[in-house]
Structure 1
Amino acid sequence: MLDAIRVQEVSPTVAWLRSPAAIRERCHQVLDLGLAGRLEFFRVEPSRLPTVVDRVLAVTHEAYPRLDIPVHSRWRHFDAGGVPRLAQLEAKLAPLPPEERARAKVDLGVVSVLLDAGSGPSWRYQEPGGASYVRSEGLAVASLRMFMAGGFSSDPDRPLRADAEALGRMTREQLERGFQVSESNPLLGVEGRLHLMQALSRVLPRPGSLFDMLAAHRRSVRAAEVLGTVLEVLGPIWPGRTTVDGVNLGDVWPHPALGPPGSADALVPFHKLSQWLAYSLVEPLAEAGVTVTELDALTGLPEYRNGGLFVDLGVLVPQDPRMTTEVYGPGDPPIVEWRALTVALLDRVAALVRGRLELSAEELPLAKVLQGGTWTAGRRVAAELRPGGVPPIRIRSDGTVF
């Protein structure tokens, strides 16, 4: 299965920019500049962090009164609305051997995460015979239903899988049909999502191959290795953006305060979708007997719910009020700065939440603070402040970043 996978040799600089250590280091460099008052786009008000912690703890206790918090991952969204869709999937997968069940779940996890980047405010998915869902939950339910209907498989006798043949020949019409896209129900970034599916077909025989790469002959794997494997294997699928030493880096962007234009010193890696996928691989691996260790090596996710929480509660104050009315691309300096500050501040919030709960990092890793947590609090506060819960700063999505 793995013979066709070839991973490109990369320079030490590229290897480092693909590491969670690089994400954390560069984002904290930006936060240090903000705390010193040396950033162009945001003022940082650390005195407002306790307010953020209050909101995070409130939603955490509401959702998980016994603090039995799962890891923040795509799997949380599949049962949106209290519908036990994962139990339906489990029942269909039950006759398969354990390793093939794991591959099927990795298939689903990969395609669903890659199809998850920002839907926009107007799109919704109407589940047949059920309710309608928006944003990330809607994208999750749509991708799960498409998966269970065999929409990612080329073999009608084995619908519960994704494979290169089906992904490679996927058309815009198929994707729009699966996600109920129409003139009256527009989904942002359809072309970008389609590109990711087609590009995925060129790097893996099936997304579930990642299971074999990570689980072969071992009982545990470090979280940083999970992310590293995802970035190495999936690196070629991302649209051409920043390149270093001839390698397209994906979700990596320059920030003018860190270094000279065009230098690697100026680059801030985020790898948001790749880290979201790494978190989402924890459970399929665990169910197959492979434990993901050192989970806190990964960082918080720099997306508009976590970032919006800091803006809406006054930790991050735009220097120019027009920032809340403009629409930005993901590579624009204000967005790079916002995302970097979000990653670093999530580390601080996690430490404060643990302190208030008297729990250690091992007992409450960052992935559980996100789930408990910051993402839900960000959505809740946005809904209180603006119709439709739109984020405080608007980003032009191409379907491949957020």
Structure 2
Amino acid sequence: MSTSQHGAAQAAAATLRTTPAIRDRCGQLLARAREGGSTWFTVDEGAIATAAREVADATRRRYPKGHIPFHSRWRHLEAGGVDRKGELDRLMAGLPPTSRAHAMVDLTFISVLLDAGAGADWSYTESASGQGFTRSEGLGVASFHAFTAGLFSSDKDHPLQADAQGLRALQTDHLAAAFQVRGNNPLVGLEGRAILLRRLGEAMSEQPEIFGQDGRPAGIFDLLVSPLGPDVPRTADVAAHDILSQILLACSGIWPASNAIGTIPLGDCWRHAAVRGDGLSDGWVPFHKLSQWLTYSLLEPFAWSGVQVRGLDALTGLPEYRNGGLLLDTGVLRLRDEGAARALWQPGDELIVEWRALTVALLDEVAVEVRKLLHLDAQRLPLACVLEGGTWAAGRELAQRHRGGLPPLRVASDGTVF
């Protein structure tokens, strides 16, 4: 690849690593579907109100006092009514504030990267509470205890960290033991999870300017918040999109998807023939679902560390099967061919790319209607809270009602897309 070609590829990748590009490309496909141009879906405008009612009802049930937190991995860490954040605080007692911030950021990174679909046959029993957990909650609780036990640290004297050496040396069977995986308790994608963490370790060791000499996810916190020293400035603030941008730049090489422009990996970006854009970005639809889920999940650790995070609504809705299922199960989206629900699809198939794009674009519209029903404005109910209240929970409830919890479309995912 020539210098000019490489420069064009870098420019295209930079465009695709922004949420305005996500909204623009997804909006193109929604406009096309509304005009009847989609091969796969029709859009029922009247059903948006139905979806909004489901979301508002779920929000009132889940948060009757009206205090709706952000959609975040930390909600899963509260599973079973156990205050694991308080437990972590006790373990961090005596540590300086910056070290506590580092531990929370490291934990968030690891827990989010381990949050792929667990499958219907796996569960985790927490010894301290005696409670059993499945799916995202189980993965969250298991990841919390693996982290606090030092599984991801190379330093036995400092267990509350994840570092490059510890992750590169992570053995799949050690991860399996921490997640209680046995013959009768199988976890879908176990090896893929271990590989992803090892790849994060490699990426961190190769970028000490971002992740520090020890190679820790918390290096991103220092880079954004306190680049001149270890103490968090009293006036520290950061834009949510800056957190996402740093994640997308620093972690672009860890994702298993082979999508790339030239030699530059794109991660969660996919081709769709109907999407237009400038230069080499033409025909690509970016989503960055897991990176945005990680960004949402980092909002609270940043805030707990004294950092104000602004511009939350720069982030988009998450294009995964609970949010997308909400739209199909409420009839906002309808399959032109009902038989498509019985097929097994790949993440790069046009139907799946379009479903995810329509999900992102429509979530913004559903959020407007939900705010009206709850008598709240965008400042008091940002998209991060609509998702939590919210769209994900309503999608899960509808899936349970209609299909015993299964998603409405079958996708052979590697765990970093759904």
TM-score, normalised relative to structure 1: 0.94
Q: Verify: 1:369 aligned to 2:386, yes or no.
A: yes
Shift in Å at residue 50 of structure 1?
Answer: 0.8
How many percent identity over aligned positions? 50
Name 1:215's counterpart in structure 2. Answer: 225
Residue aligning to 2:151: 151
Instruction: Say which is worse superposed, 179-188 or 39-48, in terms of deviation.
Output: 179-188
Matches within 5 A, 1:101-180: 101-129=100-128, 130-180=130-180
Aligned partner of 1:5 in structure 2 is: none
- CA deviations 1:68-109 (Å, max 9, x no partner) are 111111111101011222211111112111111010000000
The equivalences for 1:244-393 within 5 A come to 244-258=261-275, 264-387=281-404, 389-393=405-409
Deviations 1:329-370 (A, max 9, x none): 211111111111110110001111112233221121100000
**In structure 2, C-alpha distance between the alignment counterparts of 1:288 and 1:81, rounded to whole Å:** 25
Equivalent position of 1:4 in the other structure: none
Residues 1:131 and 1:368: Cα distance change in structure 2 (over 3 Å): same
Q: What secondary structure is seen at the aligned counterpart in 1 of 2:42?
A: strand
Q: Whole-Å Cα distance in 1 between the matches of residues 72 and 103 of structure 2?
A: 17
1:79-94 map, 5 Å: 79-94=78-93
Aligned equivalents of 2:351, 2:257: Cα separation in 1: 21
Partner of 2:230: none
Aligned pair count? Answer: 393
State whether residues 15 and 281 of structure 2, in contact with CA within 8 Å, keep that contact through their aligned partners in structure 1: no
Provide closer, same or farther for how the CA distance between residues 10 and 102 of structure 1 changes in structure 2, counting only shifts above 3 A. Answer: farther
1:240, CA displacement in angstroms?
A: 4.4
Give, in whole Å, the separation in 1 of the partners of 2:121 and 2:281: 38
Look up the match of 1:395. 411
In 2, Cα distance between equivalents of 1:394 and 1:358: 36
Task: Give the drift of 1:134.
Answer: 1.3
1: distance between equivalents of 2:160 and 2:8?
33
**Is the 1:383–1:390 contact (alpha carbons within 8 Å) kept by the matching residues of 2?**
yes
Pairwise CA distance, 1:9: 11
1:200-239 to 2 correspondence within 5 Å? 200-204=200-204, 205-216=215-226, 219-239=236-256
For 1:324, the aligned partner's letter is: A
The whole-number CA distance in structure 2 between the counterparts of 1:264 and 1:283 is 33
Distance 2:177 2:8 in 1: 39
CA contact (8 A) 1:327 1:394 kept: yes
Unaligned segments of structure 2, at least 5 residues: 1-6, 205-214, 227-232
- Deviations for 1:378-398, whole angstroms, at most 9, x for unmatched residues? 1111111122x1111111121
Q: Which segments of 5 or more consecutive residues in structure 1 lack a partner in the other structure?
A: 1-7
Q: Which amino acid aligns with 2:133?
A: Y
| Contact kept? 1:14, 1:245, Cα under 8 Å | no
Could you say if the C-alpha distance between residues 198 and 65 of structure 1 is closer, same or farther in structure 2, counting changes exceeding 3 Å? same
Distance 2:294 2:257 in 1: 20
Matches within 5 A, 1:5-154: 11-129=10-128, 130-154=130-154
Structure 1 residues 304 and 231: CA distance shift in structure 2, 3 A: same
Instruction: Give the root-mean-square deviation of aligned CA atoms.
Output: 1.8
**1:276, CA displacement in angstroms?**
0.4
Q: What amino acid is aligned across from residue 27 of structure 1 in structure 2?
A: C
> Hey, what's the Cα distance between the residues in 1 that align with 2:142 and 2:191?
17
- Deviations 1:285-305 (CA, angstroms, capped at 9, x unpaired): 111111110100000001111
What is the Cα deviation at residue 259 of structure 1?
A: 5.1
Tell me how far 1:118 sits from its aligned partner: 1.4
3-state secondary structure, aligned to 1:201? helix
2: CA distance between counterparts of 1:223 and 1:288? Answer: 15
Give me the whole-angstrom Cα distance separating, in 1, the residues matched to 2:117 and 2:111. 12
Deviation digits for residues 8-38 of structure 1 (CA, Å, limit 9, x no counterpart): 9972211110001111111111111111111
State how far apart, in whole Å, the 1-side matches of 2:236 and 2:31 are. Answer: 39
SS in structure 1 of the partner of residue 238 of structure 2: strand
Counterpart code for 1:399: G
Post-superposition CA distance 1:165-185 (Å, at most 9, x none) = 110011111111111222322
Is the contact between residue 115 and residue 136 of structure 2 (CA under 8 Å) also seen in structure 1? yes
